[in-house]
Amino acid sequence: MKPNVTILVVDDEPAIRRLLRAGLARAGYAVVEAANAREALNAMAIDKPEVVLLDLGLPDRDGLELIPAIKLQAAIIVISARDATDQKVAALDLGADDYVSKPFDSDEVLARIRTALRHRLPAPTQDGPVRRGDVEIDLLARTVRKGGEEVHLTPKEYGFLSELACHPGRVITHAQLLRAVWGPGHESDVEYLRVAARGVRRKLEDDPARPTMLRNEPGVGYRLVGLE
Amino acid sequence: MPPGDDGPSRQGGRSRRTSAAVTDPSAIPPTAPPGDRLLVAVSEQPGALDLIRAARRMAEALDAPWSAVHIETPRSARYSDAENAALAEALHLAAQLGAQVASLPAESVLDGLERFAADAHATQVVIGKSRRSRWFELRHGSIVDRLVRRAPGLAVHVLPLAAPPRTAHSRQAAARKADLAARWGSRTGYLVAFGLTALVTLLGTEILRTGNISDLGLLYLLPVMVAATRYGLRTGIATGLVCSIAYNFFFIPPTHTLTIDDPRNILTVLVLLGVAVVSSQLAARVRAHALQAQASAAQNGALAGFARLLTGIRTVDELGRVLCAEIGRLLDGNAVLLMPGEEGQARALTRRWSWSPESQAAQPQLETLDLAAANWAFEHDAPAGRGSDTLTASEWLFHPVAAGGAALGVFGLSRSDAREPVRSDRLPLLLSLLDQAALALERIELEARMAELSQARERDRLRHALLSSVSHDLRTPLTTIIGTLAALRSTDAEQERQMAAARGEAERLHRFVANLLDMARIESGALQGKVEPVDLEEAVAEALHAMRALLGRHPVETAVSADAPMVLVDPNLFHQCLTNLIENAAKYGDPQGPITVAAQRRGGGLELTVSDHGPGIPAGAEERIFETFTRIEGSDRKGGTGLGLAIVRGFALAMGLQVSAANRTDGTPGACFTIRFDADHLKEWPL
User: Which residue, A42, A39, A55, A117, is CA-closest to A88?
Assistant: A55
pLDDT class for B11, splitting at 50, 70, 90?
very low
User: Which residue, A66, A46, A47, is CA-closest to A55?
Assistant: A66
Contact criterion met (CB < 8 Å) for A209 and B541: yes
Contact criterion met (CB < 8 Å) for A103 and B545: no
DSSP letter at A57 equals: B
A195 CB within 8 Å of a chain B CB? yes
| Test mutation, B474, B532, B548, B582, chain A, max A CBs within 10 A | B532
What's the pLDDT at B173? Answer: 52
Contacts of B462 (CB under 8 A, 6+ apart): none
> What's the rounded Cα separation, in Å, for the pair B654 and B203?
106
Does residue B238 have a pLDDT over 90?
no
Which of these ranges, A167-176, B39-48, B376-385, has the smallest mean pLDDT? B39-48
What's the pLDDT at B408? Answer: 83
- Is the model more confident about B25 or about B483? B483
What's the pLDDT at A155? Answer: 92
Contact criterion met (CB < 8 Å) for B535 and A198: yes
Contact criterion met (CB < 8 Å) for A211 and B566: no
> What's the rounded Cα separation, in Å, for the pair A166 and A168?
6
Which bin fits A28, alpha (ψ -120 to 50), beta or left (φ > 0)?
A: left
Contact B596, B613 (CB under 8 A): no
Strand order in the sheet with B66-72: B100-105, B66-72, B38-41, B124-129, B155-160
Does residue B603 have a pLDDT over 60?
yes
Domain ranges of chain A: 6-120, 130-224
Residues making up chain A, counted from first to last: 228
A72 CB within 8 Å of a chain B CB? no
Cβ–Cβ contacts within 10 Å for residue B426, how many?
22
Mean pLDDT of B45-58: 84
Contact criterion met (CB < 8 Å) for B482 and A15: no
Handedness of CA B647, B650, B655, B656 (dihedral sign): positive
Q: Closest to A103 (Cβ–Cβ): which among B478, B530, B540?
A: B478
* DSSP states of A91-119: HHHHT--EEEEESP-HHHHHHHHHHHHHH
Measured between alpha carbons, how far apart are the two ends of chain B, in Å? 72
Give SS3 for B578. Answer: helix
pLDDT in tens, B129-170: 766 656 656 666 667 777 777 777 788 888 877 655 544 444
Contact criterion met (CB < 8 Å) for A198 and B480: no
User: Is there a cis peptide before residue B477, judged by omega within 30 degrees of 0?
Assistant: no
pLDDT class for B331, splitting at 50, 70, 90?
confident
Does residue B638 have a pLDDT over 70?
no
Does residue B378 have a pLDDT over 80?
yes
* DSSP states of A137-193: EETTTTEEEETTEEPP--HHHHHHHHHHHTSTT--EEHHHHHHHHH-TT-TT-HHHH
Contacts of A103 in chain B (CB under 8 A): 475, 478-479, 482-483, 507, 510
Contact B318, B447 (CB under 8 A): no
Among chain A residues, CA nearest to B511: A103
Using a CB–CB cut-off of 8 Å, the residues of B that contact A are 471, 475-480, 482-484, 486-487, 507, 510, 514, 517-518, 530, 532-535, 537-542, 544-545, 558, 560, 566, 570-572, 574-575, 683, 685-686
Partners of residue B124 on adjacent β-strands: B38, B155
Partners of residue B607 on adjacent β-strands: B600, B676
Average pLDDT, chain B: 78
User: Which residue, A156, A21, A157, A16, is CA-closest to A79?
Assistant: A16
Does residue B28 have a pLDDT over 50?
no
Does residue B250 have a pLDDT over 70?
yes
What's the pLDDT at B512? Answer: 82
What's the pLDDT at B214? Answer: 65
Torsion of CA A13, A14, A15, A19, to 10 degrees: 110
Residue type at position B665: T
Contacts of B534 in chain A (CB under 8 A): 194, 218
Chain A: closest CA distance from residue B518 (Å): 9
User: Which residue, B352, B319, B321, is CA-closest to B338?
Assistant: B352
- How far is C-alpha B328 from the geometric centre of its chain's CA atoms? 22
Burial class from Cβ neighbours inside 10 Å (0-12, 13-18, 19+) for residue B165 reads: exposed
Residue type at position B586: A
Contacts of A20 in chain B (CB under 8 A): 483
Does residue B7 have a pLDDT over 70?
no
* CATH code of domain A6-120: 3.40.50.2300
Chain A: closest CA distance from residue B609 (Å): 16
> What's the rounded Cα separation, in Å, for the pair B228 and B236?
4
Q: State which residues of chain A have pLDDT below 70.
A: 1-3, 82, 121-128, 228
Domains, chain B, ordered by start? 25-183 (3.40.50.620), 187-288 (no CATH), 527-683 (3.30.565.10)
Strand order in the sheet with B532-534: B532-534, B566-569, B682-683
Contact criterion met (CB < 8 Å) for B482 and A216: no
Contacts of B156 (CB under 8 A, 6+ apart): B124, B125, B127, B144, B147, B148
Does residue B59 have a pLDDT over 60?
yes
State phi, psi for B403 to the nearest 5 degrees. -140, 145
Among chain A residues, CA nearest to B521: A83
| Test mutation, B537, B566, B582, chain A, max A CBs within 10 A | B537
pLDDT class for B332, splitting at 50, 70, 90?
confident
Query: Fold for domain A130-224?
Result: Arc Repressor Mutant, subunit A (1.10.10)
ipTM of the complex as predicted: 0.89
pLDDT in tens, A48-85: 999 999 988 888 888 888 899 888 889 999 988 767 78
Contact criterion met (CB < 8 Å) for B480 and A23: no
Contact criterion met (CB < 8 Å) for B480 and A208: no
Chain A: closest CA distance from residue B541 (Å): 6
Cβ–Cβ contacts within 10 Å for residue B10, how many?
18
What's the pLDDT at B686? Answer: 86
Q: At what angle do helices B427-469 and B316-331 cross, to 10 degrees?
A: 170
User: Which residue, B236, B232, B207, is CA-closest to B219?
Assistant: B207
Contacts of A102 in chain B (CB under 8 A): 475, 479
> What's the rounded Cα separation, in Å, for the pair B38 and B64?
7
pLDDT > 70 fraction of chain B, expressed in percent and rounded: 84
Does residue B632 have a pLDDT over 60?
no
